[in-house]
Amino acid sequence: MLKFRQLFHTTKCAVVGMVHVGALPGNTPKITPWGHFFTPQKNTHDTCKKRGTPLCNKSVDSLVFKACKEAEMYLKYGLDSILVENMHDVPYIQSKYFTPETVATMTRVCTEIRKIAPGTVPCGVQVLACGNLEALAVAKACNFDFIRAEGFVFGHVADEGYTDANAGLILRYRRQIQAENVLILADIKKKHSSHAITSDVSLVETAQAAQFFQADGLILTGVATGSPANVSELSQVKKFCSLPVLVGSGVTGDNLGDYMGADGVIVGSYFKKGGVWYEDVDEERVRNFMEKRKIFITMALKLLFLVAICLTRTVLCENSTENFNETETAPQDLYVIKTVVYEVGILTDAGNDTNTNDTHEQVDVSFFDPSQNGTIDLSNIPLPIQTNVSGVSVTGLLPAANLAAILVPPSDGLPVLPKKQVTVTQNISTNNPDKGSEIISNLPKLLGLTKKNESETRD
C-alpha cells in the first residue's frame, strides 16, 4: 500500500484515465507445427492498408498524435494517472504470437506521452493480450510507473484463448531488467474471460493469492469492458486484503459514489462520446466526471468535520487576541476543528522464520484532537531500513452560526467549510536507518500528540 501511496501521492480515490491507442501495425505471424515465425513485408509507406492488425488504417505518427491528445485532455482536468493500452488491436492474440512492431509502436506512444506528462503523474501501460513481459519492457524503457497485468494468478479461458498464471515469470523478469520500481497492478477474475476452471476459488481467495505472489495492487472488474464491478465484492476484497484495490471497468459519473471506497478507478469508456470505448474522448464528460469527484471528496471532508465536531469541545474565545471576523462584534462560540490522518509505514530487516522477505509493519493513525494526550509505542520496532509517513492535516476555526450550513449544505451541494482553514500535506520517506529512527522518535510531535500544557505553552 505504501508503494502505491508514494506513487499516486494521494489518500483519496485516484482517477486513472485510459488512453486507447489506435490499431497497431504489425506483421502476421505464420504458424507452423513447431511454433511460429515472422514473414516480414516491405515497409515502403508508413500506412497499415495492407498489413498490421485488422483495424489498422493509420500511420504510426497518427496513432501517436491521437494518443497524446487524449493524454493532454486528462492532464488538463487533473486526472491522477494515465494508463495506455492497445485496445483497438481486436481480435487480440496471445503474447507468444506478438511481432516486434507491437512492442516498438507501444514504446513510441508511451515515450511521447511521458514527455508531456509531468513526472508527478504516474503513467502505466497494458499490452493486450496478456503481454505482461512486453509491458514491463515498455515501462522500463519509457520511464513508466506501473503495468496492468492479466493472468497474474490462476489460469483462465479468455476470448483470445487459454491464459496460464504468470506471476513467477513477471516478477523474475522485472528483477532481470532491474525494473523493481515498476508496480504490477493485477487483474483478478478478469473481464472477458471464463473462470469455470477456478469456480472453487472465490474472488477473495484469488485476491489473497495475488497478494501472496507479491502483486503491488489489485484490479476488480465487471464481466466486460464498460460493465460495472460488484460493489459488495469490492468491499470484501478491501476487507480481506491489504493491497490497494482499483475498479477497472464500468465506472461512470452516475455510479462514481459507489466506488469512492476504492483506492482508484480506471475510466475509459465513460470518457468517450456516448460512453463507447472506440469513440473519441468527450471533453465535457471528462470535466463533469472530475467535478463530481471533487464534490464527493468535499463531502468526505464534511464528514470528517462532523466527526471532529462531535469529538471536540466548544471553545469560548472572549479572551482571544484574534478577532475571527475582523469586526468589532461580540465574540462567538468557536468550534475548533482539527483532523489529522496519517499513514505510517516502517520496513525493517527484522528476522521472520516464516517469511524470507523483509518484515513490513504498517500503522494507520487518526487523531481528531491533538490537545488530548496520546502515545504510540514504537519501542519494539527494530532499526528501520525504510520509513514512510504520509497524510493530510486539516485545521480550522468554525463559527457556531455556520454549523447549520455544514449539516444542511447550500443548494449547490457543497458544504460551507471553515472561514479560516489550513491544509497541510506531509510526505516523508527515507532509506537511511538513522534518519528513519529520528522520524520514528519524533512521530508523537509530528502527529500532533502533544500534552495539553505543552500546547498551551506554545500558544
Across the range 158-170, mean pLDDT stands at 88
Same domain, 187 and 134: yes
Q: Is the pLDDT higher at 322 or at 32?
A: 32
Of the residues 273, 299, 325, the one at which a domain ends:
299
> Domains in the chain: how many in total?
2
pLDDT digits over 85-142, tens only? 999 988 888 888 888 999 999 999 999 999 999 989 999 999 998 899 999 999 999 9
Whether residue 390 sits in one domain with residue 259: no
Residue 92, pLDDT score: 87
Q: Is 146 exposed, middle or buried (0-12, 13-18, 19+ CB in 10 A)?
A: buried
- Region of poorest pLDDT, from 51-60, 314-323, 373-382: 314-323
**What pLDDT score was predicted for residue 395?**
45
Q: pLDDT value at position 29?
A: 56
Would you give the DSSP letter of residue 275?
Answer: G
**Residue 286: what pLDDT?**
96
Find the helix or strand (DSSP H, E) in which 266 lies. Answer: strand 264-267
Per-residue pLDDT tens over the stretch 32-42: 444 544 444 44
CA 117-123-127 angle, to 5 degrees, is: 130
DSSP, collapsed to helix, strand or coil, labels residue 12 as coil
Closest C-alpha to 185, from 218, 154, 213, 156 = 218
Which pLDDT band, with edges at 50, 70 and 90, does 28 fall under?
Answer: low
What is the per-residue pLDDT for 194? 76
> What is the residue-averaged pLDDT of the chain?
73
Region 171-195: mean pLDDT is 91
**Statement to judge: residues 137 and 206 lie in one domain:** yes
Residues 397 and 423 in one domain: yes
Is residue 99 within 8 A of residue 26, CB to CB? The reply is yes
Residues 99 and 173 reside in one and the same domain:
yes
Query: Does some domain include residue 379?
Result: yes
Query: Could you tell me if 12 and 90 are in contact, meaning their C-beta atoms sit under 8 angstroms apart?
Result: no
Q: Is residue 86 part of a domain?
A: yes
User: What phi and psi, each to the nearest 5 degrees, are found at residue 108?
Assistant: -60, -50
Taking the C-alpha atoms of residue 219 and residue 357, their distance in angstroms, rounded to an integer, is: 24
- Whether residues 346 and 224 share a domain: the answer is no
Count of beta carbons in the 10 Å neighbourhood of residue 111: 15
Is the domain of 104 the same as that of 216? yes
pLDDT at 155 over 60: yes
Mark whether 135 and 38 lie in a shared domain: yes
Residue reference for cell 530487516? 349
76 and 122 in a single domain? The answer is yes
Please tell me the least confidently modeled range out of 18-22, 106-110, 382-386, 438-442.
382-386
Q: What is the domain extent for residue 91?
A: 2-299
Burial code of 21-31, b = ≥16 C-beta within 10 A, e = fewer? bbbbbbbbbee
For residue 375, is pLDDT > 80?
no
Between CA 294 and CA 297 the distance in angstroms is 5
Assigned domain for 308 exists: no
Q: How many CA atoms lie within 13 A of 64 on its CB side?
A: 17
| Partner residues linked to 389 by β-bridges | 344, 428
Of residues 44 and 443, more confidence is placed in 443
